Each structure stands twice: as structure tokens, then as C-alpha cells.
Amino acid sequence: MTSAGTSLSRSPAHVWSRARGILLALALLIIAGLTLALLRTGEAYGRLDPRSADRNGSRAVAELLKAREVSVRIATTLDEVTAAAGPDTTVLVTAPNLLSARQQTALRSMADTSGGRTVLLAPDSFSLDVLVPGVTAGQPATVATAQPGCDLPEARRAGAVSLGGERYETATSVSADRCYHRGGLPTLIRVENPADGDTVLLGAADLLLNAHLADEGNASLALQLLGSRSHLVWYLPSLADPSADDPDGGQRVEGEADFLGLIPSGWLWGTLQLALAAVLAAIWRARRLGPLVPERLPVAIRASETTEGRARLYFRADARDRAAAVLRSAARLRLAPLVGVPSREAHSPDALLPALSSRRIADSGDLRDLLFGPAPTGDAELVLLADRLDALEREVRTS
């Protein structure tokens, strides 16, 4: 019998019914992992990286510049930028707010002496104090389509573009081209530098992204601003740059006010994978494998033993009131059907007492005090109460 039961429990159908939940969870995890991996294809580089083909990369504008015979060089250190700067070079700084004070000073000196063009993406007031004195940042605006509103040749040829972000104010002593106004303040400014070069401020980098390059005149403005010289240095500031160490303590990181700015871009996908795994694990653990099976109790306890056990507990706790309440409640439930009272009204004196009075043969004292009275004050009274309830029940049964 035991051998047959064991072989039955290990049959292929039984094993499959127990394992299919785990296999389904593993299959879903594998599918989810492959899907997320496919979605992340092309995200090996960060935002505004000219090697990235994803929607937040800038490979499209870099390829267009190369097609116009503009060489594109990626730099991650300030030494690479200053070594490549010259009158025939445009330097694009993708994150000027990530630079330390010493790096900003060196970049400003390079812009003033190189004779080339420097393009700064969304610099704020902290960066502008060093990089472009006389220009301050106002309250930012949302990115939307804006008209040139200036005489800058590049802007007039490009027409409407997607701009916004940082808005700029210039001192009266600063000679600048102010374009693409939002709320009365420009989001593109061109300031001339001493050595026949210039510095261009863009309030937002959206027009350089792959996802928005084809919108409005974004491509035209991007190619004109970045392709005016034969060489382009695409500067991606990095905290690993040795020049970022500022002995004067002036280093300032763009993400200081926003901790999430320092978290790698892949954290969202990692969180989604962990959440999906947690949900699948919860479904797997909560699933009931097979129908419920009733089991016999290992030990059968007699009702008399249970009663004696509860009685001893009441005795140790000196709970005469609780014991009396249990005795009276049980007596009322047994008496009610004998005198024609529904069980739901067994604990109602107005329903039970008149019915009992009409059935009694001998007087057993006050029924209200017996069935609904106060708790006994001693063990003798509790025993007397039990005897009287037992006598009442026998009397009603035999009447």
C-alpha cells in the first residue's frame, strides 16, 4: 500500500502539476530579461553622447556634421579640450554645470584666446559667473517651439526651433545677440570673445537629441552652430577628469541639489526588473498547488476531558462570573427548543421566561434570577447554580 502510494505521488502528472508554477515564473523572468535587454540596445552611452543612437543620444547630428566634412572629436578631460582648441574649432560643452570653479576658469581662458566658438548647453548662474560674466540665468521655461526674434544669421535661417530651459539676462555693457525669447527673456545668446571668437549659450539641449533633431528647424540650427568651423570638440565632462579636483574646495557638481542626477541611467531598468521578479515570486508563493486535502487530527480528545480542562482553568483564574455565564448560556440554549422558543431568542428574558413559566410543574425559585441573575460570589454558590440549572432542565424535559 505504501509503495503504491509513493509511486502515485511521484507520477509525471503529479510532478508537472507541482513544478509548472516554478517553470512559468522562470520563463516569464527570462522573457522579461530578454525584452529589457532589447529595449536597452543602443544605451551603452549617456545622454548627448555623439556615439549613442538612442532617443537621448546625439549620434544623428554628429553623423550629419561628418557628412559636411566637419571632424567630430570626443573629449572627456579638460586637457584634451584645451589642446584641440583653435580658431578653426568649435568646442561644445554638454554639461558646464558639472565643471569645478578651476575648470570653468581654464575653459573661460581658452575661449578668450583660442579664437574659436564655444557652445555651452544650459549653463546656470553658478557657471555663468565665471564662463560668461555679465550674463545671468533667470527662471527656466518649458521647452516649446519658439521663433528667432533676432538678427543672428544662423537663427534666421533655421526659423522656429524647440528651445526653452534656461533663460538669460544680460548686463547693459554686454554686446550680445538675443534669440528665441520665452516670457520676454532669450533662451539663445551669442557673445563675442576678445580673440575674434564667440560663445553661444543654449537654454536647453533638446534640439541636439536624436528624438528631436527632425522637429521644426532643430537640425538646421544645430548644424550651423556646431558646423561653422572645420573641427568640433564634443566635450563630455567627467568626474574622473584629474582637473576636476579643486584644491580651493570650489568644485560644484550639477547633481548636488538633485541626488538622482548622480545615479546611472540604468537604475530605472534595474528597479523594474527587481519589481517584476518580486511580483512573480509573490504569485508563485501564493499559488495553491492542488486542491485542499482534509487531514485527520493526530489525537482525539473526549468532550468530558475538554470540559474538565476548561473548568480547571476557570478555577485557577477565580473566574466564577465567566463559568456562571457559560452555564446559564448553555442552559438557555437547551431549554429554548423544549418550550417552543427559537434559538435566536433563547437569551431574551421576555421570550424565554413566559414560555418556561407555562411548562413548569413545581416551583424552582425565581427563573429570572436563575437564568439571568448576577454571578455567584463563592464556589458553593456556583455549584448550587449548576445543580439548580440541571434540575430545571430535567423538570422541563419531563413535564
Under a CB-based contact definition with an 8 Å cutoff, are residues 191 and 208 in contact? Answer: no
Per-residue pLDDT, 196: 85
pLDDT in tens, 320-342: 898 889 999 999 999 889 888 89
Per-residue pLDDT, 138: 87
Cα–Cα distance measured from residue 40 to residue 34, given in angstroms and rounded to the nearest whole number: 10
Per-residue pLDDT, 39: 63
Under a CB-based contact definition with an 8 Å cutoff, are residues 269 and 40 in contact? Answer: yes
pLDDT in tens, 70-84: 999 999 999 999 999
What number is the average pLDDT over the span 140-146? 91
Per-residue pLDDT, 281: 83
Per-residue pLDDT, 34: 75
Phi, psi of 132 (to 5 degrees): -140, 80
Q: How confident is the model at residue 252 (pLDDT cuts 50, 70, 90)?
A: very low
Buried (b) or exposed (e) across 25-37, using 16+ Cβ within 10 A? Answer: beebeeeeeeeee
- For residues 177 and 7, the model is more confident at 177
Indicate if the pLDDT at residue 263 is higher than 70: no
Quote the percentage of the chain above a pLDDT of 90: 40
Neighbours of 76 (CB within 10 A): 13
Model's pTM, two decimal places?
0.55
Per-residue pLDDT, 355: 86
What number is the average pLDDT over the span 179-201? 91
What number is the average pLDDT over the span 197-215? 92
* Residue where the block lists cell 584629474: 242
* Residue where the block lists cell 527662471: 139
Residue 304's contacts (CB-CB under 8 Å, 6 or more residues apart) are none
pLDDT in tens, 48-102: 999 988 899 999 999 999 999 999 999 999 999 999 999 999 999 999 998 988 9
Region for 63 from its dihedrals, namely left if φ exceeds 0, alpha if ψ lies in -120 to 50, beta otherwise: alpha
Identify the CA nearest to 43 among candidates 274, 264, 277, 276: 264
Sheet of strand 89-93, all strands in order from the earlier edge strand to the far edge? 71-75, 231-235, 89-93, 117-121, 198-202, 185-192, 176-182
Per-residue pLDDT, 27: 83
Phi, psi of 365 (to 5 degrees): 95, -170
Indicate if the pLDDT at residue 316 is higher than 70: yes
Strands (E), the chain: 71-75, 89-93, 117-121, 135-137, 141-146, 161-165, 168-170, 176-182, 185-192, 198-202, 231-235
Q: Give the three-class secondary structure for 193.
A: coil
